[in-house]
Structures are given as structure tokens and as C-alpha cells.
Structure 1
Amino acid sequence: MSNIAIVIEERAADIGNFLVGRLLPFRQKRMVGPFIFIDHMGPDTISEPHFMDIAPHPHIGLSTLTYLFEGSIMHRDSLGNAVEIKPGAVNWMTAGKGVTHSERTPDYLRSTQHDLHGLQIWVALPKDLEQMEPNFVHIEEPQLPHWTEDGVSYRLIAGEINSHRSEVPVYSPLYLIEIKAEKDSRIKLGEHLYGESGLYILHGSVQAEGQEFGPKQILVAKDAKLCEFEMKAGTSVYIFGGEPFPEQRYIDWNFVASDIETLKIARNKWEQHEFPKVPGDDGYIPIPPVNPTLGQRKS
């Protein structure tokens, strides 16, 4: 009996001035554990006028996680943080009751061609923390747990698995693990996983239950404890998941909440310019038309 519940293909999505590959939400699978949104950026070369310029925009009810493979992003937020995100570091911003931030190509890269490649992820907050005070943490690559077994390299980007725990301050049981194989390898993680689990293939190929899967695909397991697969040499994958919430989550634009009324209030707040400002960045992204289903993000 197959343990693969669904295979999700990356879809193109326009986020303003360039295209990304959207992985979550998907019409048949809105969330995997607390993970509610995943975009794959790049690895297309970014050159003028196609550098990243995402003006100040708001979030509620979630934490954003940015993890780059190549390139750089300048993060500024309404808490006063101004941090350059570089490959291997984790940018973790918890919106709670409301935060505003911008993401732009650093000034020193705007006159040269460069690659921008990485993942942008939203993790929904538990219901009792949806209105928490916003906060921000930046974790450099050396601070992340890293280990090697039988020629396979593991890095725990966020959460907890087995005896390893990331310093990223998550608010519910979850995990985001980077796995890279130098040689053909068999991976058995099931006994360490919990809740719902997804596997995203960045490079190379994975074999599971007699089938082969390639880049830009997510495999969602029916039972995380049965997670077992083979990686070809040179393959990189990301396993993410955790305990699902008992309540449904709704998405409207950049807002996540367990009830629709909260989304309506946030939408009105942004339209009335009542969210906090970003020091050093006076841009503004107008909110798109209301999404009648409030079931998926409108860009």
C-alpha cells in the first residue's frame, strides 16, 4: 500500500516583478503540518530591472522563514530590523498581531548580474498565539545543527527532530530539514518524524515505492512514520512538517487566521494605512481585490 498521499508540482506564480514557483497552498492540500505557504525563488539570474523589490507589506498570524541558496536579500521591518539575508542563514519573522516588512536586492548588487535562489515559507501560528507581539530572529548558518551519516549531510533549519534542535524559535512542533547526498543513499527518517510530512526535491532525483521523482516536486506522506526513500548522488531535498492544527486556517493575501473576521479587520487596517511603518522604506503595496474563498493567497 502506497504511503504517498499526493504529489504536488511546482506552479509559476507572479509576485510582482518576477516569477516564483509556488508549492503550497495547493487545491488538494492547503497545509502540511503548520506549513501553509512555500515559494521557490530562482535560480534564474536576476539583472536590472528584474532585481527583487518587494515594497513594505503586512502579515498577521504567521511566521515567515527565508532560506537562500544563492544571492542576497535586504530585509527591513516595522520592528526596526535591517538585516541582509545571505545563503545558509535563517530569517525568521513572527507577525503575530501585525508586522510590516520589505524585501529588496541590496544596493551594492543592483549594478551587477547575480543569482537569487531560495525558499520563502510561511508557518501558521497556533490559535492562541495568533495575536502575539511580533518579533524577529536572524540565525547564521554555523548556528544550525549539522551532522553527517553514511555520506549524507543533514542540516536542521528549524524545529526539532530526534536529539537535534534548531535555535529558530518556533511556536508549535515542526521540522524543516535539509538533506544532501554525495552518493546513492537510502534514507530512513520515519521513526524520528511526527505529524504530517512533505518532501521537496530541489536537485537530483528520489525513488520511493518503485517510482522516480525529480526536481520541483513535493511528495506528501500519508504517515510520516513510514518515511523511507532513496536519493541519487548529488540530490538535495527538504523535509518539512509537524503537528497539524485542529482548526482550519484561512489566507487572504499576506494574512493568515483561524477566522475570517480577523482577515477582514487586517485588510481594512492596511487599506487605512494603520499598520506600523518600516523605518528607512516608505514604499507601499496596495492590497489586491478581496478573495471570495479566503482559501488561498492572492498575489
Structure 2
Amino acid sequence: MSNIGLIIEERAADIGNFMVGRLLPFRKKRAVGPFVFIDHMGPADLKDYQNLDVPPHPHIGLSTLTFLFEGAIMHRDSIGTEIEITPGAVNWMTAGKGVVHSERTPESLRTSDKRLHGLQIWVALPKELEQSEPSFAHIEASQIPQWEQDNISMKLIAGEAFGRKSPVPVHSPLYFIEIKNTKETQVNIGDHLFGESALYILEGAIKSEGNTYGEKQILVAKDSKLCQFEMTENTTIYIFGGEPFPEERFIYWNFVNSDKAIIEKAKQDWQEQKFPKVPNETDFVPLPQF
């Protein structure tokens, strides 16, 4: 019997002046473990007059994980953080009761041709931390655990697995793993996973039980302990998951919470501009009406 319980295709979504590939949430699968949202950004080739400009916008009840393959983004937030994220590093922002941030092309790249490619991920917070104080952590690429194993290259971007622990300060049991290869390889890592698990194919393909799956697909496992497959040559995949929460998580725009009343309060507060401000930024993204 196949261990693949669901196949999710990447879907186009408009986030303003930028198109992304929406992976989660999906109508048949709202979350995988604590992961509630994944966008695949690009790859986008931007001209010297084109830039990423996402004005200040709010979040509650989650942590954001930004991971770039190419390009750079300048992150500014209401905590006072101002930092440029580059490929391989991790920006981990925990919104808690509320944070506001902007994402823009850095000044050094705004008048030149550039390329942007990466993942934007939301991880829901445990119920007891949904109203915590916001925080921010930046982990350099050199700090991410990486190793070679059975003809594959691995990175533990966040969480714990394979007896290793990423320095990204996560708030619940989870894992976010990169696996790359150059030649056809059999992979069997089920013994190292737990909870719910899914696999995203960035490039290349994998084979499982006589079927081949290609780029821009998420494969959701029925049982993470049975995670085994074959990677074709020059393939890059991301395996993510962890322990699901006992309570349902509700999502409205950038707000995630187990309590709908808290989301309604956040919507009102944003409309009345009661959230904290991002220093030196005056514009903002209006609350959408769905």
C-alpha cells in the first residue's frame, strides 16, 4: 500500500506586486504538523526598475521562517530589527500577540538586475505561546547543521532530527530538512521522523512505489515512519513536519490563532492602526476583505 496520502500541486497566488506558488494551506490539508503555510517565491528575474516591496503588515500567533535560494531581502520589523537575509540563512520571527514587518529589495540591489527565489513558511505557535511577546532571530548559513550521508547532502534548517538540532529557536517539536543529491539515490529516513510529515520537490524528481513525482509538488505521508523513496539525479527536496497541535488553527490573512475572537480583535486593531509601527516606514498593507 502506498505511503503517499495526498499530493498537493503548487498553485499561483498574487501577494501584491509579486506572484508566488502557494503550497499550504490546501483545502484537503490545512496543516502538516505545526506548518500551516508555505509559499514558493520565484524564481523571479527582476529588472533594474523592478523590486520586491511588501509594505508593513501584521502577524499574530505564528513564527515566520524565510529561507532563500537566491537573492536578498531586507527585513524590518516593529521590534526594531533591520537585517538583510541572504541564501542559506534563516530569518525566524515569532509574532506572538502581534508584530509588524516589511520585506523589500535591499538598497544595494534596487537599481540593478536581480533574481529572487526562496520559501516563506509559517509555523503555528503552541496555544500557550500565541499571546507571547514577539521576538526575532537570524541564523547565518554557516550555523545550520549540514552533513553528507549515503551519497546525499543534508541540512537541518530547523528543529531536531538525525540526532542533530538546528539553532533556530523553534517552539514545538518539528523538523525542516533539505536533501540534495547528484546521482540516483535510495533514501530511507523514516526512523528519524515523527508526527506528520510531507516532502516538497523543489527540483528534479522522486520515485515511490512505481510512481514518479516531479517539481512543485508536496507529497504528504500517511505514516512518517515509512518515509523511503528514490531520488533521481540532481534532485533537491525539503522534508517538513512534526507534532500536530490538539486544537484547530484558524487563519485569516496573516493572522493565525486557535481562538477566532483573538483574530477578530487583531483585524480591528489593524484597521485602527493599533499595532506597533515599523521604524521609518509609513505605508502599510490594508486589511483585505475576503
Q: Same fold (TM over 0.5)?
A: yes
Q: Which amino acid aligns with 1:213?
A: Y
Q: What does residue 295 of structure 1 align with?
A: none
Taking structure 1 as the reference length, what is the TM-score of the superposition?
0.96
Q: What does residue 91 of structure 2 align with?
A: 91
Q: Which whole-Å CA distance do the structure 1 matches of 2:98 and 2:174 have between them?
A: 23
* TM-superposition CA deviations, 1:193-242 (whole Å, max 9, x none): 00000100001010011100000000000000000011011000000000
Q: Which whole-Å CA distance do the structure 1 matches of 2:130 and 2:166 have between them?
A: 22
Q: Which whole-Å CA distance do the structure 1 matches of 2:3 and 2:96 have between them?
A: 35
Alignment length (residue pairs): 290
1:132-281 → structure 2 map (5 Å cutoff): 132-281=132-281
CA-CA distance at 1:48 after TM superposition: 4.8
- RMSD of equivalent CA atoms: 0.8
Q: Which amino acid aligns with 1:139?
A: I
Q: Which whole-Å CA distance do the structure 1 matches of 2:213 and 2:38 have between them?
A: 19
DSSP 3-state at the match of 2:168: coil
Q: Which whole-Å CA distance do the structure 1 matches of 2:13 and 2:118 have between them?
A: 15
Q: Which amino acid aligns with 2:99?
A: V
Taking structure 2 as the reference length, what is the TM-score of the superposition?
0.99
DSSP 3-state at the match of 1:263: helix
Q: What does residue 57 of structure 2 align with?
A: 57
DSSP 3-state at the match of 1:176: strand
Q: Which whole-Å CA distance do the structure 2 matches of 1:278 and 1:53 have between them?
A: 14
* TM-superposition CA deviations, 1:137-191 (whole Å, max 9, x none): 0000110101101220000000000211000000000000000011111111100
Q: Which whole-Å CA distance do the structure 2 matches of 1:55 and 1:48 have between them?
A: 20
Q: What does residue 10 of structure 1 align with?
A: 10
CA-CA distance at 1:47 after TM superposition: 2.2
Q: Which whole-Å CA distance do the structure 1 matches of 2:37 and 2:195 have between them?
A: 17
User: Does the CA-based 8 Å contact 2:48-2:114 persist in structure 1?
Assistant: no
Q: Which whole-Å CA distance do the structure 1 matches of 2:46 and 2:62 have between them?
A: 28
Q: Which amino acid aligns with 1:189?
A: I
* TM-superposition CA deviations, 1:52-99 (whole Å, max 9, x none): 100000000000000000000000000000000000000000000000
> Is residue 2:135 matched to residue 1:120?
no
Q: Which amino acid aligns with 1:156?
A: L
DSSP 3-state at the match of 1:270: helix
Q: What does residue 282 of structure 1 align with?
A: 282
Q: Which whole-Å CA distance do the structure 2 matches of 1:243 and 1:176 have between them?
A: 13
Q: Which amino acid aligns with 1:14?
A: D
DSSP 3-state at the match of 1:191: helix
Q: Which whole-Å CA distance do the structure 2 matches of 1:245 and 1:33 have between them?
A: 7
Runs of 4+ in 1 over 2 A off after TM superposition: 47-50
Q: Which amino acid aligns with 2:240?
A: F
Q: What does residue 297 of structure 1 align with?
A: none
Q: Which whole-Å CA distance do the structure 2 matches of 1:144 and 1:280 have between them?
A: 32
User: Does the CA-based 8 Å contact 1:204-1:215 persist in structure 2?
Assistant: yes
Q: What does residue 28 of structure 2 align with?
A: 28
CA-CA distance at 1:281 after TM superposition: 1.7
Identity of aligned residues (%): 63
* TM-superposition CA deviations, 1:1-46 (whole Å, max 9, x none): 1110100000000000010000000000000000000000010202
Q: Which whole-Å CA distance do the structure 1 matches of 2:69 and 2:119 have between them?
A: 8
> Is residue 2:106 matched to residue 1:106?
yes
Q: Which whole-Å CA distance do the structure 1 matches of 2:111 and 2:50 have between them?
A: 11
Q: Which whole-Å CA distance do the structure 2 matches of 1:92 and 1:248 have between them?
A: 23
User: Does the CA-based 8 Å contact 1:152-1:185 persist in structure 2?
Assistant: yes
Q: Which amino acid aligns with 2:134?
A: P
